[in-house]
């Protein structure tokens, strides 16, 4: 029932439904809070989409859907898809269980990221909220299946935790536009399947780690608006056959532009503005 005018109240007729497996009320003019009775029902939900509404209030401390009615050993294979993005939910981030895809982006959530949030997740987005504190060290300890993490546009502080290097299946990492500091860690070079890496808009400093030479699958690399320095290493022009977007703008890179950048045959966008580069 997406893009239907169901609102403003949350549909009360759901009370009589016992076997709902897929529910899409996105862009349905819903407002106010989700009634308590909805969270008390044992729906065997595999898909829940409430995105692009004006729903408000707090989410329950634990989100649990697909685990109900499924053996625990297959939770990873049958986890739910839950999309609460583009609403006005506030309060803390709920802890998911039995969920593979969780999108909480573009809300008003605050507080810290819960420990072990990624227990069964493949995709996690809490972008464009008001989350603070540090990225928990446990973010990849329990969720080795994570393929995409988007924590961008929050108020996160501290350094990038080393446990992210354990996310061996990760293809997208976006932690841009926060207040993260420290050097870019070398362990990011362990993520050989990484296709998109956004670290821009933080307070990262130092040189580009040579371990990035291992990221041969990269298509987008955005390190702009940080405090990075040193020369742009020649190896950045080697082994990145898929790289389409490279942004190093608004840093303190110096020296000459390496000629090997011309080897980036797939490159579509190259942004080196606002540095201290010299051109021969």
Intrachain domains 1-179 and 181-280 with the same fold: yes
- Give the list of residues 6+ apart from residue 73 with CB closer than 8 angstroms, or none: none
Domain residue ranges of the chain, discontinuous segments joined by +: 1-179, 181-280
* Residue closest to 22 by CA, chosen among 74, 76, 65: 65
pTM, rounded to two decimals: 0.91
Judge whether 152 and 176 are in contact, CB under 8 Å: yes
Task: Please determine, for residue 135, whether its predicted confidence score (pLDDT) is greater than 90.
Answer: yes
- CATH 3.80.10.10 is right for the domain spanning 1-179: yes
Tokens 């987005």 — which residue?
125
**Which 8-state DSSP code applies to residue 188?**
G
Topology at the third CATH level for domain 181-280? 3.80.10
In three-state secondary structure terms, 63 is strand
In three-state secondary structure terms, 150 is strand
pLDDT in tens, 203-259: 999 999 999 999 999 999 999 999 999 999 999 998 899 999 999 999 999 999 998
pLDDT in tens, 12-30: 988 888 788 889 999 999 9
Per-residue tokens: 270: 């190259």
């Amino acid at each position: 029932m997406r893009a239907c005018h169901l609102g403003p109240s949350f549909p009360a007729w759901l009370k009589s439904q016992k076997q709902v497996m897929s529910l899409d009320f996105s862009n349905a003019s819903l407002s106010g809070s989700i009634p308590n009775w909805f969270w008390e029902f044992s729906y065997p939900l595999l898909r829940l989409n409430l995105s692009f509404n004006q729903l408000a209030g707090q989410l329950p401390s634990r989100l649990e859907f697909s685990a109900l009615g499924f053996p625990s050993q297959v939770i990873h294979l049958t986890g739910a898809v839950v999309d609460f993005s583009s609403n006005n939910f506030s309060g803390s981030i709920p802890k998911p269980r039995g969920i593979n895809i969780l999108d909480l982006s573009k809300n008003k959530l605050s507080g810290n990221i819960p420990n072990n949030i990624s227990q069964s997740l493949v995709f996690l987005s809490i972008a464009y909220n008001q989350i603070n504190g540090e990225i928990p060290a446990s973010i990849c300890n329990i969720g080795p299946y994570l393929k995409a993490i988007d924590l961008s546009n929050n108020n996160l502080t501290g350094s990038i935790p080393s446990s992210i290097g354990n996310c061996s299946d990760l293809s997208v990492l976006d932690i841009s536009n926060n207040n993260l500091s420290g050097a870019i860690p070398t362990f990011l070079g362990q993520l050989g399947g990484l296709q998109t890496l956004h670290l821009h808009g933080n307070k990262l400093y130092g040189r580009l780690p040579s371990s990035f030479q291992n990221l041969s699958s990269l298509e987008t690399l955005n390190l702009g608006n940080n405090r990075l320095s040193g020369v742009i290493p020649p190896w950045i022009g080697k082994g990145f056959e898929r790289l389409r977007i490279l942004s190093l703008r608004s840093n303190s890179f110096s020296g000459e532009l390496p000629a090997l950048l011309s080897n980036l045959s797939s490159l579509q966008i190259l942004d080196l503005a606002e540095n201290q580069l010299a051109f021969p």
